[in-house]
Amino acid sequence: MSKRIVIDPVTRIEGHAKISLFLDDAGNVSDAEFHVVEFRGFEKFCEGRPYSEMPGITPRICGICPVSHLLASARAGDAIMAVNIPPAADKLRRLMNLGQIVQSHALSFFHLSAPDFLLGWDTPQPRRNVFGLIAANKDLARAGIRLRQFGQEIIEILGGRKIHPAWAVPGGVRSPLSDEGRARIRAWLPEAFTTTQTAFDLFRKVMDSHKREIQIYGNFPSLFMGLVEPDGTWEHHGGKLRFTDASGSIIADQLDPQKYFDYIAEAVQNSSYLKSPYYSPLGFPDGMYRVGPLARLNVAEQMGTPKADAELKKFKKLGRGAVTSSFLYHYARLIEILASLERIELYMEDPDLSSEDLRADAGINSLRGVGVSEAPRGTLFHDYTVDRDGLLRKVNLIVATGQNNLAMNQTVAQIARHYIKGASDDIPEPLLNRIEHGIRCYDPCLSCSTHAVGQMPLQVRLIGPDGALLREVSRG
Amino acid sequence: MAARTLTIDGKQVSADESATILEAATDAGINIPTLCHLDGVYDVGACRICLVEVAGVAKLLPACTTRVSEGMEVKTDSERLRKYRRMTLELLFAERNHVCAVCVANGHCELQALAYTLGMDHVRYEYCFPRWEVDNTHPLFGMDHNRCILCARCVRVCWHIEGAGTKNVSGRGARSQIISDLNQPWGTSDTCTKCGKCVMACPTGALFDKGATVSEMERDRTKLEFIVTAREKKQWIA
């Protein structure tokens, strides 16, 4: 039986994107659009499945942040069961999320972004990747890779595997932290702290030498959203939502994540499969907000741990009110790695994590449940509606990359406006990379695919005022 | 009770005249892959995985329902058998929606284990992607028709071990399905005793404990054998 295999479109949302730049009569950039051209359909094909299976299904959305989907999904299940999960289970889930933040941020910083700002923007493309970084600074590259490995080890120790662990379940988790696992994490922590310090030292130099990039890489006013504790401390799993504006003022606080639809609406654009959520009281597009490390640090008043708090103070001085440059997502990522390591260190002394009371049991007590968790790249919502037998009737997922969609468009436009002036129809490769980096600041699920080390398949189209395609450059 | 002598894979084997080829082979330590067969209940030859070659018979015969006979020459492994077993498995996978990665039985599934051992590395047939519902109406258990291979183990344990007669097969061919009572939601069944034997018997993730997540369904079939042994031999051996 012969069959023709057609691959169209090539899938993997992490890896494929398109950018359109629109030019005015003078040949300057008037607008830009960032398109995600893949369609996944998870929200549709999960309909009819038992809600208890969702922590197994939804992590398959992504190979880099499966833990985020796992935890948000399990939380949505908790809400459907209307249970308070055992305290030990909550701590264990948090520990896994901290491991996830460390590994994902380390990947973003060392593997994907550092080649740009450490090797230099004009480094020839074949060397501007993690292998180039290894050639230039073997110890640094190795330390970065090991830091990511540390985060993944935590995930594996708890969930049994690094990618797609089916460990968190509605009502709790399946297994505690083993003594052996605790010893392994504890022994590895000092090295992780040292690597993080090295990264801070490096990035401080980068900030001195990249003042222009800080000015133009997505530096604009917007709202910021993230989870916080009741006293405004940085939160990553649990807590309530807070919005601040560009001046740093809190415009809404302690919003119940279960009622996100009261203050977040989603706009659909014809040009992209990404939905564009916005803060509904301000309307579209004024309600544009950013999520992720930069936003979380803007909404948080303190990190809750001493070393990270000291860094947060330095970070807050970089902005008047809020820190508005998306280039500083990188800095925020390092602070979050530090905060995560400090919290992991505290958990290593907590006997609760070895508890066997890990799973609450209940039937269907609520026909709708929302699970919210801070994924490394931003706030993640899983919203499930079930029938009385627990079968899903409606699924809505709001992911970080979607929430940053409007900001990414604006970032791309800002960088393009700065570099494309006059009627030039030529796009030199280093520019392509700078635009790409604008996207990379957000560490969206597009560039985070390990397949895209150092470069992502990217297409830039230059469109004249009459709508004609002047030039198209693609890479990858 | 007369004994019969036959050859299985070149080995001389003696078996009771009432024995099947599968029983004779198992007694002789010869492994024949099975799927719908379940120790403790009678065989129906539903899956065709245990097909064997018998000298002088042109077609392949299911080992689980073919009785031994004097002088029979049986081959349990050949290129032809491997080809047909793999084909049968591929058809089972293509017929419904088997997604191992997110299945409650992942890692503890007989269908999956067979696919590994019989070397099924891909499915050559077009997947049917049928639309089947999940019956989650029962207070303790769920039934996902997407993962059902119609082996009817659940029907057999329900009728012949528990004696409740709740489970049945309705329909014809690929559209056949396991039903409860008069094809009604399982939770509304008058006859179901909630004993869970069907769930214990299921080789795939089709029948599961409600609330089970990925890979959580591990079955304990020793209880089924325990009950049958106790009933038939008056021996309570756990």
Mutate to test the interface with A, among B100, B108, B136, B147 (most CBs of A within 10 A): B136
Task: Name the token pair of B17.
Answer: 């005249």
Query: What's the confidence (pLDDT) of residue A166?
Result: 85
Q: Domains plus CATH for chain B?
A: 3-77 (3.10.20.740), 84-233 (3.30.70.20)
b/e for A244-279, b at 16 or more Cβ within 10 A? bbbebeeeeeebebbebeebbbbeeeeebebbbbbb
Over 50: is that where the pLDDT of A155 sits?
yes
The pLDDT score that the predictor gives to residue A145 is 94
**pTM of the complete model:** 0.88
Tell me the mean pLDDT in the region A74-84. Answer: 97
SS3 annotation, A69-109: HHHHHHHHHHHHHCCCCCHHHHHHHHHHHHHHHHHHHHHHH
CB pairs under 8 A between A and B: 44
| Unique residue bearing structure tokens 């919003």 | A255
pLDDT above 90 covers a percentage of chain A that reads 59
- Which single residue is written with the structure tokens 């560039």? A447
Which tokens hold the place of A343? Answer: 């919290």
Q: To the nearest whole angstrom, how far is the Cα of A138 from the nearest Cα of chain B?
A: 37
Query: For residue A36, what pLDDT is reported?
Result: 61
Contact: B126, A57; criterion CB under 8 Å: no
Q: Which of A48, A164, A174 sits opposite B133 (nearest CB)?
A: A48
Interface of A with B in 344-403 (CB under 8 A): 361, 389-391
Which pLDDT score, from 0 to 100, does residue A398 have? 84
| Residue (of B160, B141, B152) closest to B207 by Cα position | B141
Using DSSP's 3-state secondary structure scheme, residue A268 falls into: strand
Neighbours of A211 (CB within 10 A): 9
- Residue A229 phi, psi dihedral angles, 5° rounding: -75, 170
pLDDT score, position A427: 65
Report which of A121, A103, A114 is spatially closest to residue A137, judged by C-alpha positions: A114
**Interval B186-219: pLDDT, tens:** 999 999 999 999 999 999 999 999 989 999 999 9
How sure is the predictor about A63, in pLDDT bands with cuts at 50, 70 and 90?
A: confident
Q: CA separation (Å) from A317 to A204, A231, A295, A321?
A: 13, 21, 15, 9
Output the pLDDT for position A421: 73
pLDDT (tens digit, 9 = 90+) per residue, A370-383?
Answer: 999 999 999 999 99
Select from B74, B89, B92 the least CA-distant residue to B25.
Answer: B74
Whole-number pLDDT of residue A116: 85
Q: Would you state the pLDDT for residue A39?
A: 57
**pLDDT for residue B77:** 96
Residue A283 region by backbone torsions, left for phi larger than 0, else alpha for psi between -120 and 50, else beta: left
Nearest-neighbour CA in chain A from B132: distance (Å): 9
Per-residue confidence (pLDDT) for residue A48, from 0 to 100: 93
Residue A65 pLDDT: 82
Mean pLDDT value of segment A40-59: 88
Out of A235-249, A261-275, A321-335, least confident range = A261-275
Give pLDDT tens digits for A169-181: 999 999 999 999 9
What residue ranges in A114-271 does DSSP mark as E strands?
168-169, 172-173, 223-228, 240-244, 250-255, 264-268
- Does A208 have pLDDT greater than 90? yes
pLDDT, tens digit, 9 for 90 and up, residues A433-475:
787 788 888 887 653 322 233 344 566 677 777 777 776 766 5
Q: Which of B101, B210, B212 sits opposite A60 (nearest CB)?
A: B101
Residue A99 has pLDDT above 80, yes or no: yes
Please say if the pLDDT value at position A310 is more than 90: yes
Provide the pLDDT confidence category of residue A8 given band limits of 50, 70 and 90.
very low
pLDDT (mean) for A119-124: 81
Q: What confidence score (pLDDT) does residue A6 get?
A: 23
Q: Which residues of chain B have pLDDT under 50?
A: none
Token representation of residue A79? 């809400």
Neighbours of B69 (CB within 10 A): 13
pLDDT in tens, A9-38: 222 224 566 677 777 777 677 777 666 645
What's the helix, strand, coil split of chain A in %, to 5? Answer: 45, 20, 35
Predicted pLDDT at A456: 47
**The pLDDT of residue B194:** 97
